[in-house]
Amino acid sequence: MKKTIAAHPWITLLGFLWLLVIVTHTQFPQLIVDSGAFLLLGVVGAIFANATGAGGGVVFVPFFQQLEFTPQMSVATSFAIQCCGMTAGALSWLQYYRLTQTGNPDWRPLMTVLKITIPIGWLGIWLVQFGFERWLPALGFTHFASQLHLSFGVFSIFLAIAILATLRRLNSTVHTQDLTGADKSALALISLAGGIITAYLSVGIGELVAVYLIIRRCSVTMAIGAAVILSASAVWAGSVHHLLVTHAINWSVVLFAGAGAVIGGRLARYLVLLFPAHQIKLFFAVWVLILGILSIV
């Protein structure tokens, strides 16, 4: 037990700081009653996100819509929660890669994927948040907000279909170990489009990149790890706008859901390695499809 704690001192520190914030809060007992349930939401959302490569917004945004959060608050709060959960998941996947997979040729594309997709994904996010919002308001989030439920539903259905379409690839024993020039160009375009979608929905870039890598017969585990790391970087980039400009983050929700997301983010990698990828992807695809349909009807 001591070895486990020592291996992750930052988790112990975060846990201590979280408890300190909770118990010293001026409305401590009422805060637990009002927002404590979001701890479980964070755990569930982060497990789905980090076990499949999809952003936790697939779980958070529709839930917040049911609570009648404004579209701006739904997306901003989703970004902030994912900063906790996706970062925990990304660190877990990077640790797994560094300790066990650096010599595995199936994981060779990982760093190339990240070098291409992370900066271009940021560009797509900031293009919407700081560019469209200021110079092309018709394409900005403010104009888009009233249709958030419809856009989220359409994207969720598309994502579910794409995941289902990749299921037959999951049993492949021969994996792509080197990316071609066409792959790199495709990843650049996908990450730009994914960044733009992520700015609107708080999800998108990790899911699209993971689907492409699986279609290209890359290792499913590597594709999920890359998508999680990419999504973690994307939500931090997306949160900048909400911290500096919109101020729409619900911090009471983030306090609990974010803590749950850290737990879920650490557990998710073990779930991926424990259960067959086919089962995880099928369950997630059905879940996303149902959420997408419910968002539209």
pLDDT tens column, 103-144: 899 999 999 999 999 999 999 999 999 998 788 888 888 888
Instruction: With a cut of 90, say whether residue 189 has pLDDT above it.
Output: yes
Beta strands in 88-183 (DSSP E): none
Instruction: With a cut of 80, say whether residue 187 has pLDDT above it.
Output: yes
The residue-averaged pLDDT of 75-100 equals 90
Residues 6 or more apart whose Cβ sits within 8 Å of residue 269:
50, 51, 89, 92, 93, 96, 225
DSSP 140: S
When mean pLDDT is compared across 13-22, 134-143, 227-236, 237-246, the lowest value belongs to: 13-22
The residue-averaged pLDDT of 81-110 equals 90
The residue-averaged pLDDT of 41-61 equals 78
CB atoms within 10 A of CB 204: 29
Task: Quote the percentage of the chain above a pLDDT of 70.
Answer: 84
Instruction: With a cut of 60, say whether residue 182 has pLDDT above it.
Output: yes
* Cα 170 from Cα 100, distance rounded (Å): 21
Share the mean pLDDT of the chain: 83
Predicted pLDDT at 173: 66
The answer to whether the beta carbons of residues 89 and 266 sit under 8 Å apart is yes
Q: How confident is the model at residue 7 (pLDDT cuts 50, 70, 90)?
A: very low
Q: How confident is the model at residue 4 (pLDDT cuts 50, 70, 90)?
A: very low
The SS3 assignment for 219 reads coil
Q: How confident is the model at residue 279 (pLDDT cuts 50, 70, 90)?
A: confident
The answer to whether the beta carbons of residues 95 and 272 sit under 8 Å apart is no
Predicted pLDDT at 5: 40
Q: How confident is the model at residue 74 (pLDDT cuts 50, 70, 90)?
A: very high
Cα 290 to Cα 12, 34, 206, 284, distances in angstroms: 37, 28, 20, 10
For residue 52, give the amino acid letter. Answer: T
The residue-averaged pLDDT of 58-73 equals 88
Instruction: With a cut of 70, say whether residue 165 has pLDDT above it.
Output: yes
Q: How far is CA 15 from the centre of its chain?
A: 22
Predicted pLDDT at 234: 96
The residue-averaged pLDDT of 26-49 equals 74
Predicted pLDDT at 164: 84
Rounded to two decimals, the pTM is 0.86
The residue-averaged pLDDT of 64-87 equals 90
* Cα 221 from Cα 268, distance rounded (Å): 12
Report which listed range, 60-69, 77-86, 128-137, 232-241, is most confident: 232-241
